[in-house]
Structure formats: structure tokens, C-alpha cells
Amino acid sequence: MSPKTTKLIAKIIAIVLAIALVIGTFAVMPVFGASMAYGATSAEYLDRQLTSLRHAISDIQMNYKDEVMLESLVEGAFSGVVEALNDPHSKYYTTEEATTFLQNVNGQFSGIGVNLENFVGGCRIVAPLPGSPAEKAGILSGDQIIEVDGKDVTQLKVDRLVKLLKGDPGVSVRLKILRRGTALTFNITRAVIKSISVDFEKINDTIGYIRIHQFDNDTQNEFKAARQQLLNQGANRFIVDVRNNPGGYISSAAGVAGQLMPAGPISHLVKRGEIIETISASGEASTRYPVVLLINHGSASAAEILGGAWQDSRTARLVGTPSYGKGVAQQVFSLKNGGFIKLSECYFLTPDRHPINETGLTPDVLVINPAENEIAQIIKEYNAFAPMKEQRKPRAGDVGLNVYGAQQRLQLLGYNLKVTGAMDSATVSAIKAFQKSAGLFAYGVLDYSTMAAIDKTIAGQLLTLKPDDDMQLKKAIELLTVN
């Protein structure tokens, strides 16, 4: 292994939250298996199965209809072990793939600049990277890629799709994406993507703005320097922006959180139902400042650790739309064969022990903030929503038009649910979260007050939408101005 690769390894061997710039996965069909015999120890069982696997690999290499490399079969076996977990965040990397992965996390690459995840019917974009060709072209969080240069990619996993999106800078690629049921085409020119961690500026006499693009291994120091410069310029309240921040290192998110919050838990790490570690703030924040944290559906993993810590500790008010909901931490470790495994090792919870995975954070103040080319489409969708006029107050298990209409509206507000007309668990959770954010009794029943509040929230915001307006940022400034 080269010294360059060794340096990259040293930076990544820690518990991390994957930034989703993943590459390379083998499509392996597991065909060899057996149940554990009664009385056999795990070690004995494993030894027997490894012997069987060795024979199977040898037999396949000798008898397969086409020539096959032994190395390919061995790599497939390693990959198959990880794929058997059925975990989208765990992955086996070959030596070549590992080098590329580490460069993506710690250095730079050439492509369009998007974070991806596997999704039914194609890969979905978690968020475009700030300043990337994808962001400049208008790609949004939640867009589903269905074609690349005319090729159907709805059956491809992230690793294979990434290979199609990468390429030499200056060379364009044509994407067809699905956005809320509408197919759109983008021609995007690839470029060298360089990681940017923290930007900051002074908005007015008292408010400082800090944007964290992702949590690199030095983000907490960059954040501290930015905060100090803004303080020196007279800022005494802050807007921290983690919209479309796909995550990064737990240690960096904790390091940022501890600079503004009181002593206490930042996050709890949970493994097999037990808390194995609590990451805590030391209380270094001797002076408390009014803070607003901006979040949206592209805020994931480490960004959600920061948001959960500040929300539960009352350090900041969260403004925007519900976050992504990736509450799983990974560790990356090397193997003797030169490969790597990125393994999901634990879940993380907020200080008050609220789960984040597949749930996300609910902002204290819900604000829609569409891109310019989405405003007309959103208003058109809203006008076509089912009315909520039935004289019923649906609860868990009920079905009806009120439920259908509420689901449409809550989905538009960013809540993670499906529009089915049935009050399933996801819908009940979304209603509770909305009720809490609206100052209503949060009990998960779709009562008349809740339906009226949902409609009022959306209608009120749609009336104020204007091209190029950042309504979430405006709300943050308003909240800090009146406090």
C-alpha cells in the first residue's frame, strides 16, 4: 500500500458518519449457506463454513463456463458478507475503491458534485455539494436519477452510478431526474470538486452567519475561528446553516456543538438496544448567545447530531423543514488483503434520547424554501391537493380523504411519509411533530385545529414566496432581531 494511501487511512480510521460519496459494490448472489448445528460453537461453525467456502471458490474457478479470476471471486466473498447485513450504509471496498473513497472524503475528485443514496427505482440525491456543477445546474435534494446520457440507471446501485457521473473535468453529462413525479433533463459539465467546510459573513450590526458545508476533521477549528472573527466584528447572535450538509465526522459535529451549548449530553450512541457511550459538552461556552440553526431535508447524519444537541439543550431554535433522518454511525477499518470495510456500528440519539434514524429532526419553526424553478410547481400541486372537509378526526388506523389531504400537505412541508390515505405510524408521527411545532397538543390525532393549522402554514408561506428569496434565512433574521 502506498504512503499516500496510508496517510489517507490515518485520517479516516475513526467513528464517522459516511458522507455518501460511496464507490464500488459487487452484486453478489449468496448461494452457499447452512444452519448452525446444535451444540457447535460459533468458532467451530465458522471454521467449517470457511473451509466449504474455500472449496466452493476453487470449484467455481475451475468449472465455470467462462474464465474467471480468483481475485474476483475472493473480493465477491468479502463483499457478500457485508451485503448480507442488508444495510445501505455498510460496505466493502477493494484496495482501488478504498483509495478513491478516502480521496473523496479527505481530498478532491472530478464529477458533478452530489451525495447519493440507494433508493427504490433508482438512486436519490441526498444533497448537491455547495458550489458544485450539480448545484449550479439546479439539482435538488430528493431528486431521483433515472437516466445518465440516455442510459436507464433505475436498476443501478450507488457505486455503479457514481462511476458514470465521474469523469474528466470539462466533459458534460446529461441527467434525467424525477422530481415529484415530473421528469426533468439537465446537461451538467463535470469539474474538480474541492471540499469546503465553513463559510461566514456578518449580516448586520449584530448577526453573524456561519455555514457548515460538511463536517471535516478540522471543521470545529474552522467554526471556532469564524465565530471569533464575527465576535470581534461586533456580532452577538448567530445563524448557523447546515442545510444540505450531508454529515461527516462525529467528533467534528460534537466539537462544534460544544462551543455554544452548556455542559451536558451531545449525543448517545446505542448498540443492540444499549447506550454504549455518551458524548458530552464540557461547558466551555461560558457566554450564551441567541442562535438559530437552519436545517432542511438535505441535513443529514453529523448535521443532525448538531441539530439534536442544540435543540434539546435549548441552545438554538431550528428553522426550516424536517431533516433527512440518518441516525447511524460507521467505523472504517482496513483488512489484511488491502481492502476496507465501512460498518454501521451504532445508532445515535439526541440528548433527550429521541431517535433520529428514519425520523429526522422537526424544526421549531417550519418554513418552506423552494428554489426559483419550483415555486410555480409547488403552488400548482397545492391547488390540486385533496380537500380536508370530512367531519371526522382520524386517528391511528383510520382512512379517508382528510388523511390523504393531510399527507399531501405534510409531505410538501418536508415530512417523511407516503400519501396513502391511511393513518399509518409514519403519518401519526408526522402529525405529532407538526402539532408540537405549531404549539398544539401533540397527540397524533388529525383534529380540526390541526388540519386548519396545516393549511394555514402552507397557504401563508406560499403567498410570500418570491424568486431568489431565502425565506428560511429571513425567518432566522427575524427571530434574532426580535429577541
**What is the DSSP pairing of strand 15-16 with strand 328-334?**
antiparallel
Q: Which residue has the higher pLDDT, 371 or 160?
A: 160
Task: With beta carbons less than 8 A apart as the criterion, state whether 150 and 175 touch.
Answer: no
- Grid coordinates representing 420 are 396513502
Rounded to an integer, the average pLDDT of 396-416 is 93
pLDDT in tens, 3-49: 444 433 333 333 333 333 322 222 122 222 334 444 457 888 999 99
pLDDT exceeds 90 at position 170: yes
- Grid coordinates representing 213 are 458545508
For the question of residue 216 being annotated catalytic, the response is no
Residues 237 and 316 in one domain: yes
Give the rounded percent of residues in the chain with a pLDDT score beyond 70.
86
pLDDT exceeds 80 at position 483: no
Task: With beta carbons less than 8 A apart as the criterion, state whether 129 and 193 touch.
Answer: yes
**Total count of domains within the chain:** 4
Half-sphere CA count of 147, side-chain side, radius 13 A: 12
Task: With beta carbons less than 8 A apart as the criterion, state whether 124 and 142 touch.
Answer: yes
What CATH number is attached to the domain comprising 406?
Answer: 1.10.101.10
Residues 202 and 292 in one domain: yes
Cα–Cα distance for residue pair 364/238, rounded to 1 Å:
16
Q: Is residue 76 part of a domain?
A: yes
Q: Which residue has the higher pLDDT, 116 or 463?
A: 116
Determine the pLDDT at residue 347.
97
pTM score above 0.75: no
Q: Is residue 276 part of a domain?
A: yes
Residues 284 and 426 in one domain: no
Determine the pLDDT at residue 256.
97
Q: Which of 480, 362, 349, 476 is nearest to 417 (CA)?
A: 362
Residues 354 and 261 in one domain: yes
Determine the pLDDT at residue 28.
23
Highest mean pLDDT out of 22-26, 364-368, 473-477: 473-477
Determine the pLDDT at residue 80.
94
Rounded to an integer, the average pLDDT of 244-271 is 95
Q: Is residue 69 part of a domain?
A: yes
Determine the pLDDT at residue 45.
92
Give the rounded percent of residues in the chain with a pLDDT score beyond 90.
58
Length of the chain counted residue by residue: 483
| Catalytic residue selected from 91, 157, 176, 326 | 326
For the question of residue 326 being annotated catalytic, the response is yes
| Catalytic residue selected from 312, 432, 437, 447 | 312
pLDDT exceeds 70 at position 381: yes
Rounded to an integer, the average pLDDT of 63-71 is 93
Cα–Cα distance for residue pair 120/116, rounded to 1 Å:
13
For the question of residue 301 being annotated catalytic, the response is yes
Q: Is residue 471 part of a domain?
A: no
Residues 119 and 184 in one domain: yes
Residues 179 and 289 in one domain: no
**CA quadruple 185, 190, 194, 199: dihedral, nearest 10:** -40
What CATH number is attached to the domain comprising 121?
Answer: 2.30.42.10
Q: Is residue 460 part of a domain?
A: yes
Half-sphere CA count of 217, side-chain side, radius 13 A: 13
Instruction: Show the domain range for 420.
Output: 372-464
Task: With beta carbons less than 8 A apart as the criterion, state whether 362 and 431 touch.
Answer: no
The residue type of 18 is A
Residues 408 and 455 in one domain: yes
Residues 360 and 396 in one domain: no
The residue among 163, 194, 225 that closes a domain is 194
The residue among 174, 194, 214 that closes a domain is 194
Determine the pLDDT at residue 2.
46
The residue type of 449 is S
The residue type of 383 is N
Least reliable range by pLDDT among 110-114, 179-183, 275-279, 419-423: 179-183
Residues 382 and 318 in one domain: no
Q: Is residue 475 part of a domain?
A: no
Residues 221 and 357 in one domain: yes
- Grid coordinates representing 83 are 451485503
Residues 306 and 410 in one domain: no
Task: With beta carbons less than 8 A apart as the criterion, state whether 168 and 197 touch.
Answer: no
pLDDT exceeds 90 at position 150: yes
Cα–Cα distance for residue pair 236/203, rounded to 1 Å:
12
Q: Which residue has the higher pLDDT, 314 or 7?
A: 314
Residues 317 and 242 in one domain: yes
Sign of CA dihedral 304, 307, 313, 318: negative
Q: Is residue 28 part of a domain?
A: yes
What CATH number is attached to the domain comprising 349?
Answer: 3.90.226.10
Determine the pLDDT at residue 291.
98
The residue among 140, 171, 194 that closes a domain is 194
Q: Is residue 243 part of a domain?
A: yes
In three state form, how does the secondary structure of the chain look?
CCHHHHHHHHHHCCEECCCCCCCCCCCCCCCCCCCCCCCCCHHHHHHHHHHHHHHHHHHHHHHCCCCCCHHHHHHHHHHHHHHCCCCCCCEEECHHHHHHHHHHHHCEEEECCEEEECCCCCEEEEEECCCCHHHHHCCCCCCEEEEECCEECCCCCHHHHHHHHCCCCCCEEEEEEEECCEEEEEEEECEEEECCCEEEEECCCCEEEEEECCECCCHHHHHHHHHHHHHHCCCCEEEEECCCCCCEEHHHHHHHHCCCCCCEEEEEEEECCEEEEEEEECCCCCCCCCEEEEECCCCCCHHHHHHHHHHHCCCCEEEECCCCCCCEEEEEEECCCCCEEEEEEEEEECCCCCECCCCCCCCCEECCCCCHHHHHHHHHHHHCCCCCCCCCCCCCCCECHHHHHHHHHHHHCCCCCCCCCECCHHHHHHHHHHHHHCCCCCCCCCCHHHHHHHHHHHHHHHCCCCCCCCHHHHHHHHHHHHC
Q: Which residue has the higher pLDDT, 379 or 161?
A: 161
